[in-house]
Structure 1
């Protein structure tokens, strides 16, 4: 697949990096010499220095043969302009990064596809949604919803109190036959290896396990792992960035009691004017004494979305030491994901990863409806639409020649999520959620063509 990316900033570079690993033909356009030099040195891609709004530059990138054009510069107006031009010059599909979420909410009404923009993404809005979902499922360190919660991916670390520690997957299924969840990936404590569990796979203390749950399965999982899903009400947010603003606004509208700490006086007053249901405090949230004054011990959750990743991590560690149930930190460095559980932060959020997940489904073969990469695990979770011509159609799961490094986690039929076991028969129109290691993705894709 030929993919052109306009913008070599943090999102653009990360996308180019991930896509180049997939052996895609990538061209990266940016006017900044330093950014391009870094990408050219570290990635196996083609780089073009110049303004992507220039028709000459777009023609130089061979936009007329492009399968996917992604505009992720820091300016949403520039991204929209670039995508319109790219589409007119022959790009098959275009995606524009935007910050104004009104565009997404009114996408159909405005008719962006008529202009030549096939998809809009907002990393800030994706991060705010991720934070909100993490608060909804407070016991889990990783969450993702398919079809508005028909099926949910939930990740957690098994403690000694988990009732199925020491049992195999098959033994656990026999003891708890009516449960609405299934394990789809395991990372052993202290290792970087991802295991796709089978019947004889044994659960061990310290395992980081990812489950697929149908309705009600999340609560069952919490009870069996000894991690009750506590209701969260009082939330403190550090940082009045776009993510901080969107998170505070959305949570306050859903009945949360929200305090927002912002160090910049002008920004704090600006936020206070538009966030009528939020208590905005002009102060440096890194000050431990101030956090005590603002009754941090009474908070149920602490969310750090400052511009500095290290500040977010340290603030969350302080909050955790004060007995906060749930801590969430926004980080830019992907390496921090490997440290999150060992240092005690519940959930890490990364804009680049969220944007990449949202875009990646467009390069997968088959009818991919949604996808996400599992944090810290060498695996992807994909939701496929089953067509009448798909190799899996009208077959039971146990009769499908499925690679051992992949597993079907569940099926959504007519909007209802189901945990699908061996005798389940897949039908046309079903949406099948599959977890697979990267090495088996191509084999899995062929089954859903």
Structure 2
């Protein structure tokens, strides 16, 4: 990887503008992004409720890297590189599962849920099993969510932990269950997918279904401006002990905001999609609690469900959008909720965004592409994402370009 050339591309970026073409389109830029961004950042892997008992595991990809997350016999959640210490095969197939031990399908090397090597057949007498456990990955669990970082020295996470824990506490995320998940393949660079996900400039025309309940006209950091309705919402949240003021760090944001008038959920008609709510405060009218972390995620929690959007790059021209829907653990499918109804709005929205991102990528490939300016009002979060990406990339280049 030519870090000097990559550095030169970042130097070409004009303040307040999108990126130079090569940072969106070239394979070398993708390799840089995997090392400098996804290899160094905190990523949300899911919710603790996805590991309901000892032996539960989640096997997933972080870009091109396989990861497995387990709950061991003591209830501790751990994360490991999903690569056998024998000859490197993936130990766990992708998806959710439950097993008393993790067994590599190639030569049956067997690992305990804490990552230690339990058995390795036909090895020499002096073979040291203790030196061949699965390699651990940094993990933090708080507010009912799971965060992992593949870096050797992860960035501090304390400020985000404190804020998300405070905002999420009334919703009791540990008391949820995973109702549905999906994967959408988008033929676009991951940064274009995320820039699209960080703004609603396009929402009024691009997402007419979402716009019925979601306040697509908000500016900057979910700023509804000072009006009587916004003030009434803030007062109601204060009365019910629900934090709502937008808070942000370098790589994260958390806020709670009101939905459109008469709407209590992000749904096609603004009404709850789940009869068993997660919280009943203010009659269930608590708006949406949104949190977002760079480089890959946003999530919304209303009183009746949580939606998680995660962007995972596969190549310079392909991105996988992973979506998850969570509901109260006691909600019964077919009685308290219907999966098709629960997932319909965000599925339609994701499909619309896929078309927009893929069209964007085709246009960026044009020899006529020139980086354009962001709207300070409508695209503040998109610009914030790109500024963050450039900041983190420059730091990586300085520390690894020796």
**TM-score, structure 2 normalization:** 0.29
User: Higher relative contact order at CA 8 Å, sep ≥6: structure 1 or structure 2?
Assistant: 2
Structure with a larger share of its residues in helix: 1
**TM-score, structure 1 normalization:** 0.27
